[in-house]
C-alpha cells in the first residue's frame, strides 16, 4: 500500500513536471505574440486599406463586391491558406434621397437617417402632426387607434455605459417602434438615434417589421434634433413634420463570406473560427463597425501565421458579409453545420477598437490549465477572466453557438462606441492604434493557446 502510494505520488509529480514543461512554451509563445502585437500589429494597415480603398460597403452594394475582392486579395497577400469566398444571397436595402422638416409657423430642417429596411414614403413625402413620447414605454401605453394619421416620435435617450448595455436596453425603440406605432394607427415613425453623442449626425440601424402591423416609413433623428422636437412640443402647440424617404430593395442580391486559414500542423480538422463583419452602414466608412473587427482578427491570425511553426489546430478567419441587415451568420452556420462538431471555438470582434477589459469563457472552463495560462498572459493587458460564462459571441457566430460550438466573449470598452456607431462619423480617425493593438494582442494570445493546446472547451453534453 505504501509502495503503491509512493509510486502514484511519483507519477503525479512526473505528470505535473511534464505539464508545466508543456505549459511554459505555450505561455512563452502566447506572451511573445501579445508583445509583438503591442509593438505594432498588422491590424491598423488592414483597416486603413479597407476604409480608404473601399469606404462604406453596405451588403448588396457594388462597394460590398469590391470589399469582397479586397478581402480575398488582402488575405492572400498576408499569406493565409485556403483563401476563398462563400456566396449567399440577401434582400439588399438601398437608401435613396431623404429629408425631414418641421412645417407650419416655425419651419426648420431636421437631421434624419432612414432606418435600414424601412419602406419609402409615398412620392412627395408624408406630412402630419406628430405625437411625441418621451419614453418608449409611453408609446407602448398609448391605446390602439390613438395615433391615427399621426407621425409617432419617441425621444427617449440611450444611456452611456462601459459595457454597451445601454444600447441593448434601447434597441426595441429602433427595432420595434415602427410596428408598435403602426399598430396604433401612425403613418410614420421617428426615433431619437440610439446614440450617446451630442451632435447633429443621425445614427441609422436596422428595424424589424412585425407581420401584424402595416409597414410604415421610419427614420432616426439626430440626438439634438430629437431634443429640438421635445422643446417645440413643450411650447404647447401642435407640431407638424414632413418626412420624405426613398429606398428600394433588391431581392437575391449576392453577398459573400470571405475566408482564410492558418492550417494546423497536427490537427488541421479541429478549427477555431474567428472574424468580424465586412459590411457596414452607408454614411461613414465602417471603421469601428466593423472594419476594426475584421482588422483585429486578421491581424491576430496573421501573427500566428508568421510563427516558425503553425499551432496544432487550424485558425480560420472569416470576414462576414452581411451582419447589419442579417444574413452572413445564418449562411455560415447553414454551410458549416456538418463541420460544427469539429469547430473547437468561435468568437467575433464587433464592438469597435477600444480596449478589451474582460473575457468570458465557455461555462466551466476558466479553471482548465490552458485557460489559467491564458489568464496570466492577458493580465498585463488589464483583461480579467470573468467568472460568468460566455453566451453570445457576436451575431455572425450565434448560429454556430446554437449548434453547440463553444464561444468566447471579449468585452471591449464601449463607453465611446455609440458616439460614432452607424453614423457618418464612423471613420478611421476615431481609431486609436495602440488601443486596437491591445485587442490584437488579446485575440492572438487566446487563439494561439486554444490552437496549440488540446484544451476542450465543449460542455460534456455537447461533445461530438
Ligand atoms: Zn457591427
**pLDDT exceeds cutoff 90 at 262:** yes
Residue 150: which CATH number? Answer: 3.50.30.30
Q: Do 357 and 443 belong to one domain?
A: yes
Average pLDDT over residues 405-412: 98
> How far away, in angstroms, is 53 Cα from ligand 1 center?
19
Q: What are 88-111's pLDDT values in tens digits?
A: 999 999 999 999 999 998 999 999
> Is 18 within the bounds of a domain?
no
What the block records as the C-alpha cell of 248 is 428600394
> Is 9 within the bounds of a domain?
no
Give me the catalytic one of 323, 324, 348, 351.
323
Ligand 1 (ion): residues with CB under 5 Å are: 289-290, 350
Helix, strand or coil for residue 25? helix
Q: Do 69 and 149 belong to one domain?
A: no
Structural domain for 336, as ranges:
25-92+252-462
> How far away, in angstroms, is 205 Cα from ligand 1 center?
10
> How far away, in angstroms, is 143 Cα from ligand 1 center?
35
Q: What are 356-379's pLDDT values in tens digits?
A: 999 999 999 999 999 999 999 999
Q: In whole angstroms, what is the distance from residue 294 CA to residue 71 CA?
A: 10
Average pLDDT over residues 126-143: 98
3-state secondary structure 184-250: CCCCEEEEECCCCCCCCCCCCCECCCCCCCCCCCEEEECHHHHHHHHHHHHCCCCCEEEEEEEEEEE
Grid cell 413634420 in the structure block, residue: 241
* Domain termination residue (choose one: 215, 247, 279): 247
Q: Do 170 and 82 belong to one domain?
A: no
Q: Do 81 and 129 belong to one domain?
A: no
Q: What are 281-328's pLDDT values in tens digits?
A: 999 999 999 999 999 999 999 999 999 999 999 999 999 999 999 999
CA angle, 326 then 329 then 335, to 5°: 130
> How far away, in angstroms, is 429 Cα from ligand 1 center?
18
> How far away, in angstroms, is 58 Cα from ligand 1 center?
12
Helix, strand or coil for residue 112? strand
Q: In whole angstroms, what is the distance from residue 267 CA to residue 311 CA?
A: 9
What the block records as the C-alpha cell of 166 is 445601454
Q: In whole angstroms, what is the distance from residue 379 CA to residue 139 CA?
A: 46
> How far away, in angstroms, is 18 Cα from ligand 1 center?
43
435: exposed, middle or buried (Cβ count in 10 Å: 0-12, 13-18, 19+): middle
pTM: 0.94
Q: Is 86 a catalytic residue?
A: no
> How far away, in angstroms, is 161 Cα from ligand 1 center?
17
Amino acid at each position: 500500500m505504501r509502495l503503491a502510494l509512493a509510486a502514484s505520488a511519483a507519477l503525479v509529480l512526473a505528470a505535473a513536471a511534464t505539464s508545466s514543461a508543456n505549459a511554459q512554451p505555450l505561455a512563452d509563445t502566447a506572451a511573445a505574440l501579445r508583445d509583438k502585437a503591442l509593438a505594432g500589429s498588422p491590424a491598423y494597415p488592414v483597416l486603413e486599406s479597407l476604409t480608404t480603398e473601399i469606404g462604406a460597403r453596405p451588403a448588396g452594394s457594388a462597394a460590398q463586391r469590391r470589399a469582397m475582392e479586397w478581402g480575398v486579395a488582402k488575405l492572400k497577400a498576408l499569406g493565409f491558406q485556403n483563401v476563398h469566398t462563400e456566396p449567399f444571397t440577401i434582400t439588399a436595402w438601398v437608401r435613396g434621397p431623404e429629408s425631414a422638416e418641421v412645417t407650419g409657423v416655425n419651419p426648420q430642417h431636421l437631421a434624419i437617417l432612414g432606418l435600414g429596411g424601412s419602406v419609402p414614403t409615398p412620392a412627395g413625402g408624408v406630412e402630419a402632426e406628430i405625437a411625441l413620447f418621451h419614453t418608449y414605454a409611453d408609446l407602448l401605453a398609448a391605446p390602439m387607434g390613438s395615433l391615427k394619421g399621426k407621425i409617432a416620435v419617441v425621444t427617449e435617450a440611450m444611456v452611456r455605459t462601459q459595457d454597451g448595455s445601454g444600447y441593448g436596453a434601447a434597441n426595441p425603440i429602433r427595432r420595434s417602434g415602427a410596428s408598435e406605432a403602426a399598430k396604433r394607427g401612425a403613418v410614420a415613425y421617428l426615433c431619437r438615434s440610439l446614440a450617446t453623442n451630442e451632435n447633429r449626425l443621425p445614427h441609422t440601424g436596422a428595424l424589424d417589421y412585425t407581420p401584424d402591423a402595416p409597414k410604415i416609413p421610419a427614420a432616426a433623428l439626430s440626438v439634438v434634433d430629437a431634443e429640438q422636437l421635445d422643446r417645440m412640443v413643450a411650447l404647447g402647440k401642435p407640431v407638424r413634420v414632413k418626412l420624405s424617404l426613398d429606398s428600394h430593395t433588391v431581392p437575391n442580391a449576392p453577398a459573400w463570406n470571405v475566408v482564410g486559414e492558418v492550417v494546423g500542423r497536427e490537427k488541421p480538422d479541429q478549427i477555431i473560427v474567428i472574424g468580424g463583419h465586412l459590411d457596414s452602414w452607408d454614411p461613414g466608412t465602417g471603421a469601428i463597425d466593423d472594419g476594426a473587427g475584421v482588422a483585429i482578427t486578421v491581424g491576430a491570425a496573421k501573427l500566428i501565421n508568421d510563427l516558425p511553426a503553425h499551432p496544432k489546430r487550424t485558425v480560420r478567419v472569416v470576414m462576414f458579409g452581411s451582419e447589419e441587415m442579417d444574413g452572413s451568420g445564418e449562411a455560415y452556420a447553414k454551410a458549416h453545420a456538418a463541420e460544427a462538431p469539429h469547430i473547437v471555438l468561435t468568437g467575433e470582434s464587433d464592438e469597435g477598437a477600444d480596449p478589451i477589459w474582460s473575457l468570458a469563457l465557455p461555462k466551466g472552463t476558466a479553471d482548465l490549465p490552458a485557460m489559467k495560462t491564458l489568464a496570466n498572459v492577458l493580465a498585463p493587458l488589464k483583461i480579467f477572466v470573468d467568472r460568468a460564462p460566455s453566451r453570445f459571441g457576436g451575431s455572425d457566430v450565434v448560429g454556430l453557438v446554437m449548434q453547440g460550438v463553444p464561444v468566447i466573449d471579449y468585452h471591449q470598452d464601449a463607453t465611446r462606441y455609440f458616439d460614432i456607431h452607424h453614423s457618418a462619423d464612423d471613420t478611421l480617425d476615431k481609431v486609436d492604434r495602440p488601443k486596437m493593438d491591445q485587442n490584437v494582442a488579446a485575440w492572438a494570445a487566446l487563439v494561439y493557446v486554444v490552437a496549440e493546446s488540446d484544451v476542450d472547451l465543449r460542455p460534456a453534453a455537447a461533445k461530438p
